[in-house]
Amino acid sequence: MTTLRPVLRQALKTYEKNRQLRKIAQASALVESRGYMKWTRVEDTIEFARLMNYRKIGIACCIGLKREGAILASILRRNGFQVISTICKTGAVPKEKVGVKDAEKLRPGQFEAMCNPVAQAMLLDACGAELNIMVGLCVGHDALFCRTSKAPVTTLIAKDRVLCHNPVASIYNHQSYYRQRLYDNHLSNIWKSSPSS
């Protein structure tokens, strides 16, 4: 029988050995207790950054949410942080560079810049960001950003084009409005095709 106890022990040891992870865990617990039912997520993020003594904050922004990213940047600056931001289309690299076929683009036959979360993470790291905040990066692009960023990453806005960036609405409605889409046709159709290597 497989037991997961060794994994749990290993996780505890990781907190003991890795000071940075332990500090993040402590700061997160403080944000939870001090701000419980009082602070919004933006305030949680500011207080977390303060507890961690971060000075420089990176914003990884989707181009579609650049206004929201700019407002966030001004709030952070007013709270004493230095802010660096990058937009997802940075570098203006054609999608074909990562193997997307012309027919698979939003508008076949036209130039389309790929979203470049790997470059976003590298640029923010190169500028010395100590904490990166994702603003509207979509599914997959957010995974690439988290995987590449050396600085810790937190999400402020999760992209959901249909639900005004409130993805939990489909979970709350999984037995009602979204039942058929979530459990029946929709996903099985998507799983029929996967990206080529």
Q: Is 152 in the site for ligand SF4 (CB under 6 A)?
A: no
- Residue 64 structure tokens: 């579609």
Q: Which is nearer to ligand SF4, 56 or 95 (CB)?
A: 95
Residues 77-116 that bind ligand SF4 (CB under 6 A): 88, 115
Q: Is 137 in the site for ligand SF4 (CB under 6 A)?
A: yes
Q: Is 64 in the site for ligand SF4 (CB under 6 A)?
A: yes
The C-alpha torsion from 109 through 113 and 115 to 120, rounded to 10°, is 170
8-state DSSP, 100: -
Q: Is 165 in the site for ligand SF4 (CB under 6 A)?
A: no
Q: Which is nearer to ligand SF4, 35 or 91 (CB)?
A: 91
Task: Give the span between the Cα atoms of 123 and 120, in whole angstroms.
Answer: 5
Work out which of 31, 59, 62, 157 binds ligand SF4, going by CB under 6 A.
Answer: 62
Closest separation in Å from C-beta 139 to ligand SF4:
8
Q: Which is nearer to ligand SF4, 62 or 72 (CB)?
A: 62
Q: Which is nearer to ligand SF4, 88 or 121 (CB)?
A: 88
Contact 135, 65 (CB under 8 A): yes
Residues with Cβ within 8 Å of residue 34, at least 6 apart in sequence: 47
Q: How many residues bind ligand SF4 (CB under 6 A)?
A: 9
Task: Give the span between the Cα atoms of 75 and 192, in whole angstroms.
Answer: 44
Q: Is 35 in the site for ligand SF4 (CB under 6 A)?
A: no
Closest separation in Å from C-beta 110 to ligand SF4:
15
Residue given tokens 């599914």 in the structure block: 139
Contact 88, 65 (CB under 8 A): no
Region label for 189, one of left (φ > 0), alpha (ψ between -120 and 50) or beta (otherwise): alpha
Task: Give the span between the Cα atoms of 100 and 108, in whole angstroms.
Answer: 11
Q: Which is nearer to ligand SF4, 52 or 169 (CB)?
A: 169
Q: Is 141 in the site for ligand SF4 (CB under 6 A)?
A: yes
List residues binding ligand SF4 (CB under 6 A).
Answer: 62-64, 88, 115, 137-138, 141, 159
